[in-house]
Chains A and B, each alone.
Chain A
């Protein structure tokens, strides 16, 4: 690991200081050894991270993991870097809540279910696309008490705050909301954020609304829009169901782009492929089972048995990725 410094430029090795430096080098070397054994990242100063956060996580869906990383199958480790900048884009303000939900979900997946979430937004964004609402966050399985809202007056303040947060260890993750393409948030800025995210091993999510194409140092870039909501097999079709998102992976370092329709399993904090209500209904009618009685071969989204409702990724793909791809293309 090249991330830590054994001797700092300011420390001239005087005769009196020699034992201290020796000890520090020793601790540094030992830390490095622990890090190798435990796959724990080192801080820049050679000390171990307090929280044992992995370097990368798997999305839990083989199809997407394969798209994110070509050699996902061999390494067995994660495919989505934790200490990195991930960009989530919304076409319009109308799509923003879906993108924000996706970004929060992604951040939760990367950073775990504890730790403070910092949401940075400009003040006028509050009127444009509303403000995060505690009961609504709880509805997505995110504890509202984790969220700290940081409101800024201009993009310079936004960027300063993002830099401060990204450099702070012990934070959950940082969700940075930007509108359009501010001149100060160019490639250099995203590279700086990415570096800070990397050194603190903290995810930084850039939620960007109605911005044009722009070079960025983000590890992945997603375009997210809402998908028709998930209806349970046994409930009337006219009702509004649980959220689903069309997520298009536009850019992925070391991977290939793709598009899927995803749902969010808030109990487990995991994504799952969503096959569409039509597929569920079709599966049910072909199986010939009366509604309301979940059988063993019933498709996954039964409302009665949430704990058993999630089948493995391979089975999900078999049932309905066709619908998802058609919608997202």
Chain B
């Protein structure tokens, strides 16, 4: 955190073991000799004018995610790592791990990439430390425990840090030498292991490296040696990127930020053109396309669209994104403009050119329509149903996004499902409209396990003229562990001809003494 010259020191406090303790503090507070983990009362005694804020772990997490989002400009492989287990205060410490293999060329080398990253973060108000090393473990260690600076609290001057950025690029050959003088905590070890190692006199990574491995592994577990090997590169370590890596990406960096919708649409179409060329070479079409707009102030806006068939026309991309961006409405805030526009294909599929049949209708207008609707209203709002082989009425049908895997023309009717070719004279046994949550009804029945003679639903009393049932549907004991009560369904009709599907939950006498009635659906 940067110091604010005129204002009192700021500290963040949180409750730890029934005491308010400092969990984070700014540069000015450090100058007064405050430190993390100190009791808040002590801190106030040392420096009365401090401004105290309560910690907000959710906001911390969101901030880390937002910065990670922004770091996407350097590489698609960005991971957010937290290390709450490693410190005694149980504070979530966030760090970002970027795999920049092969990306440095775009930024003029490692040094200028690091400089650009730190300078841009500095202008957004973040004081960051960064390191480039051959392994994730070494980079983690150097970024946090470089001997040239003190731990954690940003005591060094900002300008000074940027000047010294070069120091933090460790070539693969120098990894061992760079790690040697660091404390053992740099190896991402938990507090228990560290204190154990301290008891046997090991404090620095170099000391550990000089020891025979077998006794150490026997005493402190395999993790210790694994961490050391990971830092030195003897064991491969992969980072888990927070976003799936796209199949294809096209991006445009702009000298002048843009904010107008027309400009963005123009850029999308140009980028889509590039992507379509690449897709054509692969013989593929896009199924999921993501748009990322990097705002000048570091915020990243993302929007994705899905298609129900592989698409390879730039105009189709644009049509979908036009709907998607229109749906954002007030959420779409260009601020001072976007400096980078990136379009990526996250999912691609082999595109088979289909000639529309001579007589059959072309299905493409309908699938395109489904995509457009999904882009504007959200994928979860455009649904088709699929039959499920179960007796439970509310599970006999599941709703899936209509654009998920093409559009099946017909769903094979399952044995339990009423066939469309049922006889005319047989009345439908299932209601046309089903309530997702059965609504309780008050009923009066002549006998406890018989059909009701009248019932009250939504405050209206219905006299029952006809009833048919019960159709007993028991829970599927073979599929589930929490068994619900057996239901007796009745089709009933009132005097006006309204037809209802109601059920009694629980078998009278064996499962419950007071069965309850529910309205589950309405017949046409």
Contacts and interface: CB of A to CB of B under 8 A. Distances in A.
Interface in A90-120: 94-98, 100-102, 115-116
Nearest to A305: B425
Nearest to A130: B433
B17 to A, nearest CB: 46
Chain A binding site: helix, strand, loop or mixed by DSSP?
Answer: mixed
Interface string B465-495: 1111000000000000000000000011100
Interface string A44-67: 000000110000000000000000
B523 A136 contact: yes
Interface in B488-518: 491-493, 496-499
A289 interface: no
A244 B382 CA distance: 31
Nearest to B403: A148
Nearest to A149: B383
Nearest to B414: A135
A200 B425 CA distance: 36
A82 to B, nearest CB: 15
B323 to A, nearest CB: 9
Contacts of B432: 97, 100-101, 132-133, 136-137, 139-140
Interface residue tally of chain B, by bracket? 35 or more
Given A133-B432, A170-B366, A164 B373 contact: yes
B15 interface: no
Nearest to B435: A130
Contacts of B399: 149
B420 to A, nearest CB: 5
Contact of A148 (B372, B382, B397): B382
Contact of B427 (A97, A165, A240): A240
Which of A134, A141, A161, A241 has most chain B Cβ within 10 Å? A134
A135 B418 contact: yes
Interface string B65-87: 00000000000000000000000
For A115, A148, A157, A306, the residue with the greatest tally of chain B CB atoms inside 10 Å of its CB is A148
A127 B422 CA distance: 29
A171 B369 contact: yes
Nearest to A160: B376
A188 interface: no
Nearest to B457: A94
Interface in A131-158: 131-145, 147-153, 157
Interface in A250-265: 265
Contact of B521 (A50, A130, A148): A130
A151 B402 CA distance: 12
Contacts of B365: 168-171
B410 A131 contact: no
A226 interface: yes
B417 A134 contact: yes
Interface stretch (A5-13, A27-35, A211-219, A227-235): A227-235
6 contacts: A129-B433, A139-B428, A148-B383, A225-B496, A238-B467, A240-B491
Interface of A: 50-51, 94-98, 100-102, 115-116, 123, 126-127, 129-145, 147-153, 157, 160-161, 164-165, 168-171, 225-230, 232, 237-246, 265-267, 301-303, 306, 309
Closest 6 CB pairs of A and B: A139-B428, A101-B524, A130-B433, A133-B434, A135-B430, A303-B425
Interface of B: 356, 361-363, 365-366, 369-370, 372-373, 376-377, 381-385, 387, 393, 396-397, 399, 402, 407-411, 413, 417-437, 460, 465-468, 491-493, 496-499, 521-524
Given A136-B433, A145-B411, A306-B425, 5 more contacts: A139-B428, A152-B381, A171-B365, A240-B466, A303-B423
